[in-house]
């Protein structure tokens, strides 16, 4: 009887840790939803040519809000940023969340005007999320962390839901105390489960599972230049440093970087123009080009990038940015030439190879495009940028569904990724 009871407990535990995927219309009212992804893809989804998805702020709909030990940041914000990161390998263009937050929080733009802004950026769909529950149950020798959320993809024009997914997931730490040694190891695992790393892993896993039910985007979106890393200092501190060290261009560069990474493109452009006037160096022309590109002032942006290249012709990133500008404005031949010049400066330049692949695919030169995609996948593996490897795998998978023979390339990249996860 004791053994039978133990087997039942073990089966229950295993059933809670294995994730299953269930379509919304097949759910029965009495089916337990723990560790089940419930999703629905609207019939309208296939009729929409979705190229861009913006991730708007998630709502905190928790009835009971708890403090998570050692986690200083807002957990709802972290969940949203994780969702945004997992969306990128699906080939959809996006609007940087820093820009959306800047407009909402600092410019006090109303949501209806944010939706108009998205449409001006040729982004016609957006995601909203709702966090229903974050719960930590700590029984010293056994702990459970529960996270419940749901997400919805809307069409801006009709406000129809195109896709939705939800899940209640649990992470269990500790073991059943069947032996004195188990009590020791179980207590340690329970302690670890309440720490920040485990919470973040649970968030990461949940978002990855939810997004896996979202149909992948088309293979026609270019990879934008990498987001500039935010300087670890406050705006007021950086402004003071610029004021105190007006002859040192580095402080002004740091302040421009801060504004670019925070979605304050207008201020970044204003300061870049100041840097050009005072210092007249290639970095400030490049910063100006980046800010103007974000503001979709393509003509002036092009001039800034060309000037930056003239002053520093061996900087491959400048050619990359210029190529992306040409891709964005559908100037394919100019884009290919710019990417090639970037590759000439640095062959290990996956950004340029990737966007060249997309250019070739859009032109109908599929063999060259596939060859480039595979090359990029190998480069990203070498650089340990695994989210980008997933992007390449997804795109090759889409091409395979369209009838292209990419089996060898797909199997090789998937095999390399599988080895990494087995080693981990």
Mean pLDDT of 347-357: 95
Residue 297: pLDDT over 70: yes
Question: Taking 70 as the threshold, does the pLDDT of residue 155 lie above it?
Answer: yes
Q: How many CB atoms lie within 10 A of CB 225?
A: 17
Phi and psi at residue 307, to the nearest 5° = -65, -40
Residue 42 lies in domain: 31-211
The DSSP code sequence of 184-216 is: HHHHHHHHHHTSHHHHHHHHHHHHHHHHTTSPP
Look at residue 90 and tell me whether its pLDDT is greater than 70.
yes
Question: Average pLDDT for residues 238-267, to the nearest whole number?
Answer: 85
Total of domains in the chain:
1
Beta strands at 59-60 and 54-55: parallel, antiparallel or unpaired: unpaired
Q: Of 339, 316, 325, 247, which Cα lies nearest the Cα of 288?
A: 325
Split at pLDDT 50, 70, 90, the class of 243 is confident
Q: Is residue 73 part of a domain?
A: yes
| Per-residue pLDDT at 268 | 95
Pairing status of strand 125-138 against strand 59-60: parallel
Contact between 263 and 99 under an 8 Å Cβ cutoff? The reply is yes
Q: State phi, psi for 64 to the nearest 5 degrees.
A: -120, 120
Residue 10 confidence class, pLDDT cut points 50, 70, 90 = very low
Residue 16 has pLDDT above 90, yes or no: no
pLDDT over 70 at 323, yes or no: yes
Judge whether residue 273 has pLDDT over 90. yes
Q: Which pLDDT score is estimated for 19?
A: 74
Is the pLDDT at 223 greater than 80, yes or no? Answer: no
Residues 37-49: what's their mean pLDDT? 82
Average pLDDT over residues 163-185: 64
pLDDT of residue 290: 95
The average pLDDT across 77-103 equals 88
CB neighbours of 383 closer than 8 A, spacing ≥ 6? 350
> Tell me, what's the pLDDT at 204?
85
Tell me which of 103-112, 165-174, 225-234, 368-377 is least confident. 225-234
Confidence of residue 228 (pLDDT cuts 50, 70, 90): low
Share of the chain above pLDDT 90, in %: 50
For residue 400, being part of any structural domain is answered with no
- 48 located within any domain: yes
Q: What percent of the chain has pLDDT over 70?
A: 82
Model pLDDT, residue 309 = 97
Is residue 95 included in any domain, yes or no? yes
Q: Is the pLDDT of residue 6 over 60?
A: no
Asked whether residue 172 is assigned to any structural domain, the reply reads yes
Average predicted confidence (pLDDT) for the chain? 83
According to the model, what pLDDT value does residue 423 have?
56
314, pLDDT greater than 50: yes
d(CA 209, CA 348): 32
Residue 180 has pLDDT above 70, yes or no: no
We report the CATH number of the domain holding residue 151 as: 3.40.50.10610
Residue bearing tokens 């914000």: 77
Rounded Cα–Cα distance for residues 152 and 399 (Å): 27
Query: Among 390, 393, 400, 363, which Cα is nearest to 220's?
Result: 363
Give the pLDDT mean for 322-338. 95
| Angle (nearest 5°) at CA 219 between 218 and 224 | 105
* pLDDT over threshold 70, residue 24: yes
Digit-coded pLDDT (tens) for 55-85: 999 999 988 887 777 777 888 999 999 899 8
pLDDT at 346 over 80: yes
Among all chains, which residue has been given the structure tokens 């199997």? 411
Quick one: average pLDDT of 345-350? 95
Check residue 129 and give its pLDDT. Answer: 96
145 confidence band (pLDDT: 50, 70, 90): confident
Of 64-68, 304-308, 397-401, 404-408, the range with the lowest mean pLDDT is 64-68
- Output the pLDDT for position 233: 67
- Mean of pLDDT values over 236-251: 78
What are 87's two structure tokens?
């969306």
Whether residue 403 has pLDDT greater than 60: yes
Q: Provide the pLDDT for residue 409.
A: 95
């Amino acid at each position: 009887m004791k053994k039978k009871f133990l087997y039942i407990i073990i089966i229950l535990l295993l059933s809670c840790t294995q994730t299953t995927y269930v379509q919304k219309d097949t759910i029965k009212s009495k089916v337990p939803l723990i560790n089940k992804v419930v999703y629905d893809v609207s019939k309208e989804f296939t009729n929409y040519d979705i190229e861009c998805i913006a991730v708007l702020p998630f709502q905190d709909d928790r009835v009971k809000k708890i403090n998570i030990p050692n986690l200083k940041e807002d957990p709802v914000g972290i969940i949203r940023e994780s969702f945004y990161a997992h969306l990128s390998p699906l080939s959809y263009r996006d609007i940087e969340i820093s820009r959306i937050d800047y407009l909402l929080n600092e410019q006090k733009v109303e949501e209806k005007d944010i939706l108009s802004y998205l449409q001006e950026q040729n982004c016609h769909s957006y995601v909203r999320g709702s966090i229903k529950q974050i719960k930590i149950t700590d029984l010293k020798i056994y702990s459970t962390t529960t996270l419940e959320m749901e997400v919805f993809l809307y069409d801006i024009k009709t406000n129809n839901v195109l896709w939705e997914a939800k899940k209640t997931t649990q992470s269990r730490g500790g073991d059943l105390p069947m032996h004195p040694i188990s009590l020791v190891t179980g207590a340690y695992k329970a302690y670890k489960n309440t720490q920040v790393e485990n919470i973040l892993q649970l968030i990461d896993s949940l978002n990855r599972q939810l997004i896996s039910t979202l149909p992948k985007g088309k293979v026609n979106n270019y990879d934008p230049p990498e987001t500039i890393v935010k300087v670890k200092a406050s705006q007021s501190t950086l402004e003071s440093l610029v004021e105190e060290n007006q002859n040192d261009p580095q402080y002004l560069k740091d302040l421009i970087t801060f504004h670019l990474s925070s979605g304050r493109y207008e201020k970044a452009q204003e300061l870049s123009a100041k840097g050009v006037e005072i210092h007249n160096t290639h970095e400030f022309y490049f910063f100006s080009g980046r800010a103007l590109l974000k503001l979709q002032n393509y003509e002036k942006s092009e001039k800034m990038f060309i000037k930056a290249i003239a002053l520093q012709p061996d900087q491959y990133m400048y050619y990359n940015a210029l190529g992306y500008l040409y891709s964005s404005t559908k100037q394919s031949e100019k884009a290919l030439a710019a990417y090639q010049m970037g590759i000439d400066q640095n062959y290990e330049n996956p950004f340029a190879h990737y966007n060249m692949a997309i250019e070739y695919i859009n032109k109908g030169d599929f063999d060259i495009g596939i060859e480039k995609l595979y090359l990029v996948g190998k480069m990203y593996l070498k650089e340990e940028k695994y989210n980008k490897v997933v992007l390449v795998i997804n795109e090759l998978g889409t091409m395979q569904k369209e009838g292209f023979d990419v089996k060898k390339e797909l199997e090789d990249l998937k095999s390399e990724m599988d080895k990494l996860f087995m080693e981990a």
